[in-house]
Structure 1
Amino acid sequence: MKAVLCKAYGPPESLVVEERPSPQPGPGQVRVGVHACGVNFPDTLIIQGNYQFKPEMPFSPGGEVAGVVQALGEGVTGYAVGDRVIAATTWGGYAEEVLAEAGRLIPMPAAMDFRTAAAFTLTYGTSHHALKDRARLQPGETLLVLGAAGGVGLAAVELGKAMGVRVIAAASSDEKLALCTAHGADATINYATQDLRARIKALTDGRGIDVVYDPVGGDLSEPALRSMAWNGRFLVVGFAAGRIPSLPLNLPLLKGCAIVGVFWGAFTRNEPERNAANLQELLLWWSEGKLKPHVSAVYPLERAVDALNDLVHRRVQGKAVLVTEGQP
């Protein structure tokens, strides 16, 4: 099988494409023939040794795939060869075949295509956990989404609307904000041309934001935190800007707000039953048309370097997906 391999930590250009033997599933594992694999920000970190997990080299990045079950390991029940599945793998997905734990598989809805399936679980799972479990978002509240045209950001915009709140989308260009509006945002902020705090104040009549969803970090976090409403919740989701901000801790004290961490991967391992229930709710909302994953770029497996670079340089809106040879 063909795989994109990380043999030494480095930038996307350090990855290589090679032929590898087919992996054989052990007890409790399933081998999945990959049709599509989502490209996500953690992929850029794991190949540089900057992620929470450091797999043994060589390894393939890629934590969410959609494909077909090829082989079952000992003790696996509930799945059969030929089943269409979504698999959470943490790494290994940039390949034509990957091993996955049976407990981390989700049957694909019959009406869902492979590209949509590969763009679904990580972004929507992260944002749903953030808004539902960590922020306890309530109907009628105001949600500010930073980096709103990215994968998790756009998912947060849609989920905010599904959960009955007013959504303010913030991004770096009018083109990105038009996409956010098309996916349900009630108001927008271009933080490349507008003052974030002043615009928030105008849009909320000076009240501030109930929940901030921040996957960006960098220079945006502090002005967003300063714009919180009383009893607000500031969600720390990631640091796509590349810098982890240092926030003045007097601000949560003065505003009576909370800074809340979001780590969906740890949630899936520590609370698998709640995560499974959340995923079923997400699939229901997708079937009802409330969630519409936006795949803006599709690359063949051999162009994984281009996909990662486009993600790093913020040229991707919504999600980018890799597809294996022969997949439409």
Structure 2
Amino acid sequence: MRTFRVTELGKRPALTDMQPLPIDPGQARVDIRACGLNFADLLMTKGSYQDTPDVPFSLGMEPAGIVTELGPDTDGPAAGTRVVVFSGKDGLADEGVFPADRCLPLPDNMSFEDAAAFQIAYGTSHVALDYKARLQPGETLLVLGAAGGVGLTAVEIGKVMGARVIACARGADKLEICKRAGADHVIDSTAEDIREAVKALGGADVVYDAVGGEQGEAAFRATKPDGRFLFIGFASGNMPNLKPNHMLVKNITTIGLYWGGYLKFKPEVLTDSLRQLLDWYAQGKINPHVSHTLPLEQAEDALELLRSRKSTGKVVVTMGPNS
């Protein structure tokens, strides 16, 4: 089988051939049809992601496909079931062997491409906004990096939850995508003062920061008293320098979120969230935005789209028929 494999940290992965993996009790073999890419995949190639596997390993954290086999004495989706998997790795391959309890059956109306674009991005935003920040109808949500893989889902979910959404992104084309996702107001981070623009709109009750750096600092200064500031990621390469005395005076709560971390100590948070999200998808309330779909042979080009920030929403790699 083909797999897009990291053999040395700091060097670019390559498409290689390897023998299919054996299957053990508790596992399911999946014929992979599509896999979503994440910024974490880029970090893994350098060894700078918090959950980078030991080398060698294959990239791809969220494959979707068809179960072809269950391990001995294993309960799980039967062979032939269409599933999505939060695998953490090994999704950029023709097939994979994963824990059976991580294989989640898909709604009948969900394509493999949508499934591969769904789990981490929507899961991160839903757990952040609902479970962590307790976003309420009528509150104002500011999303930084709003045209990116997770940011765009925060715009959508914020609207489903009844918030007024301010989307901050780079350039007119990306802002237009944010508007189509439901943003009530947009801010061009390349041309506008984020702090002043948000304050002119009344400030933010909740800030969703997937960017960090100067944008995060500006957003913090536009957060209302008793607001909540969510640390989602640092796509700028820098963490925002937030002042604890300002948090104290304004009664601002700062909240960190690592979505995958809940698998280790409170997996029901993710399970409950994904059930809600799949129900919203089935009802047509949320719709994954995939800006680029490339075949496995072009996996390096797909990563470059993330590296160069030329994508919006999600980049998905496909391995077979998407049905």
TM-score greater than 0.5 by the shorter chain:
yes
On the 8 A contact 2:74/2:100 being kept in 1, the answer is yes
RMSD: 1.2
Distance apart, 1:283 and its partner CA: 0.7
On the 8 A contact 1:89/1:99 being kept in 2, the answer is no
Question: Which residue of 2 is the match for residue 165 of structure 1?
Answer: 163
Q: Secondary structure at the residue paired with 1:71?
A: strand
- What is the rounded CA distance, in whole Å, between the counterparts of 2:157 and 2:292 in structure 1? 22
Question: Which residue of 2 is the match for residue 74 of structure 1?
Answer: 72
- What is the rounded CA distance, in whole Å, between the counterparts of 2:9 and 2:142 in structure 1? 35
TM-score (norm 2): 0.97
- What is the rounded CA distance, in whole Å, between the counterparts of 1:222 and 1:136 in structure 2? 22
Question: Which residue of 2 is the match for residue 247 of structure 1?
Answer: 242
Distance apart, 1:129 and its partner CA: 0.4
On the 8 A contact 1:225/1:251 being kept in 2, the answer is no
Unaligned stretches of 5+ residues in structure 2? none
- What is the rounded CA distance, in whole Å, between the counterparts of 1:21 and 1:218 in structure 2? 44
Q: Secondary structure at the residue paired with 1:296?
A: strand
Paired amino acid for 1:6: V
Distance apart, 1:250 and its partner CA: 1.7
Runs of 4+ in 1 over 4 A off after TM superposition: 325-328
From 15, 25, 28, the equivalent of 2:26 is: 28
Paired amino acid for 1:91: K
Question: Which residue of 1 is the match for residue 200 of structure 2?
Answer: 202
Question: Which residue of 1 is the match for residue 179 of structure 2?
Answer: 181
Q: Secondary structure at the residue paired with 1:131?
A: helix
- What is the rounded CA distance, in whole Å, between the counterparts of 2:52 and 2:146 in structure 1? 29
On the 8 A contact 1:235/1:259 being kept in 2, the answer is yes
Question: Which residue of 1 is the match for residue 130 of structure 2?
Answer: 132
Task: Among all aligned residue pairs of Structure 1 and Structure 2, give the percentage whose two residues are the same amino acid.
Answer: 46
1:8 and 2:3 matched: no
Q: Secondary structure at the residue paired with 1:151?
A: coil
TM-score (norm 1): 0.96
On the 8 A contact 2:9/2:55 being kept in 1, the answer is no
- What is the rounded CA distance, in whole Å, between the counterparts of 1:29 and 1:286 in structure 2? 27
- What is the rounded CA distance, in whole Å, between the counterparts of 1:249 and 1:302 in structure 2? 48
- What is the rounded CA distance, in whole Å, between the counterparts of 1:298 and 1:179 in structure 2? 17
On the 8 A contact 1:235/1:261 being kept in 2, the answer is yes
Distance apart, 1:236 and its partner CA: 0.1
Question: Which residue of 2 is the match for residue 221 of structure 1?
Answer: 216
Aligned 1:282-297 pairs, distance under 5 A: 282-297=277-292
Paired amino acid for 1:155: T
From 295, 299, 311, the equivalent of 1:300 is: 295
Aligned residues: 323
Distance apart, 1:326 and its partner CA: 5.3
Q: Secondary structure at the residue paired with 1:175?
A: helix
1:256 and 2:254 matched: no
On the 8 A contact 1:30/1:73 being kept in 2, the answer is yes
- What is the rounded CA distance, in whole Å, between the counterparts of 1:202 and 1:56 in structure 2? 48
1:315 and 2:310 matched: yes
